[in-house]
Structure formats: C-alpha cells, structure tokens
C-alpha cells in the first residue's frame, strides 16, 4: 500500500499488529524545548473572547498543528475543560518549521462553560512526519545513512536480516510521543513515523 493513498483503518490495524515496539529505558532528555507554547498575555479577563497562543518550533522536526484543548485547576489537580457538544476540528495544514512561530487562536465560544477566574492550562497536539530510508537485499536490510534523523527525535533503521525491519526511534524531548508506523512501497522502502507530540503549560 502506497503511503500517498488512503489506508483503511483495518489495513492500518493489520500492519500495526506485525509491529513490535520495545521501550528503551533512561533515554536522556537533551531537547526539552523542541516545541514551546506561550500565551501572548499572562492573564486574561473572564470576558475575553479569544486567547492567542504562540506555538514555537525551537529545534524539533517540521510539524503540523493538530488541535488544542484546555484544562482547569480544580480541587488541587488539572481537569479537562470540555468543548461544546459535537464540536469538531477541521484540518488546517499549517506547517511549523524549525525556528518558526505560529499563532493558535482559542475561541472561548468553543467551550461548554464560560471562563471563570481560575488557572487554565493550554495543551496542543503536533503531528510530525519523519522518515528514513533503508535498502533491501537478498540477505539483509541496511540503513541509508544520509536519511537518518538526529536531534529531538532520533529515527533510523538498524542493520538486520531481511526477514524484518528494525527501526530505532528515540524521543529526546519532554513531550509525550506516540510513533505510528505506516508502510510505503517503491524502488526502495520508505517508512514514516508519525509522532503525536503533546505539550502544554
């Protein structure tokens, strides 16, 4: 299945059932500020109609902003501040490259309840498409060195026998990341990891 064409959910699940992920212990966080967000004002009035957040790619891979949500401080912990019923997000396709800052607009009308004086936490998701190449021969699978990724996320193919592809993915940021592997076919094999990275202050 070519990655350029839509995959059905059943095809994705069938492929993912053949993927084994082994967690590496004690990976050092060396890129804590891969992505940052900050409100343009430190304090907002309960009467505000819109909160503007700057999303900054400090040194992470190019990513697409997916959506935001709020949490509120309640009884000593952060709890979800719900959207209105049947609220949906439309894809916006804004790419956030390294060094770029993009504004994210949070409209208060999106939420089920009005803002009251309190502490609120803004969270957002980014979707980063990263990839690396490998060469398949009759006997083994070898990485293509110049396509390996290094930095906030390390992503490369490990040499192995040609019965399986071993991929090393290291998250050196302070973000929660979920890599999802999708196959692609061609003259050589392209594998793309989609890290869903969430962070919020």
Higher pLDDT among residues 175 and 13, named by residue: 175
Cβ-in-10-Å burial (0-12, 13-18, 19+) of 142 comes to middle
Q: Roughly how many angstroms between the first and final C-alpha of the chain, as a whole number?
A: 39
At 183 the pLDDT is: 53
Which position has the higher pLDDT, 86 or 88?
Answer: 86
Average pLDDT score over residue span 119-130? 83
pLDDT-derived band at 112 (thresholds 50, 70, 90) equals very high
* pLDDT reading at 193 higher than 70: no
The pLDDT of residue 196 is 40
This model's pTM is above 0.75: no
Mean pLDDT of the chain: 78
Q: Taking 60 as the threshold, does the pLDDT of residue 185 lie above it? A: no
- What would the DSSP string read from start to end of 16-82? HTT----PPS------TTSEEEEESSS---TT-SEEEEEEEESSSPPEEEEEEEEEEEETTEEEEEP
User: Each residue of 18-50: pLDDT tens digit?
Assistant: 666 677 777 889 988 888 888 888 888 889 999
Comparison of pLDDT for 164 and 145, the residue scoring more: 145
More confident residue, 45 or 199: 45
Instruction: Please check the confidence at residue 136 and state whether its pLDDT lies above 80.
Output: no
Place of tokens 């900050």: 38
């Amino acid at each position: 299945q070519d990655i350029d064409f839509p995959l059905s959910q059943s095809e994705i699940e069938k492929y993912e059932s053949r993927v084994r992920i082994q967690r590496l212990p004690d990976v050092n966080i060396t890129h804590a500020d891969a992505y940052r967000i900050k409100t343009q004002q430190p304090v907002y009035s309960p009467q505000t109609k819109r909160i503007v957040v700057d999303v900054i790619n400090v040194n992470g891979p190019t990513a697409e902003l997916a959506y935001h949500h709020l949490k509120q401080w309640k009884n000593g912990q952060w709890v979800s501040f719900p959207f209105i019923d049947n609220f949906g997000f439309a894809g916006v396709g804004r790419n956030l490259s390294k060094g770029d800052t993009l504004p994210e607009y949070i409209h208060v009308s999106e939420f089920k309840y009005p803002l009251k004086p309190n502490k609120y936490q803004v969270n957002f998701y980014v979707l980063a498409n990263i990839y690396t190449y490998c060469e398949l021969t009759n006997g083994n699978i070898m990485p293509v060195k110049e396509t390996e990724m290094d930095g906030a996320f390390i992503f490369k193919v490990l040499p192995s026998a040609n019965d399986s592809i071993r991929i090393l993915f290291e998250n050196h940021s302070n973000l929660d990341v979920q890599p999802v592997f999708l196959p692609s076919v061609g003259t050589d094999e392209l594998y793309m990891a989609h890290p869903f990275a969430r962070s919020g202050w």
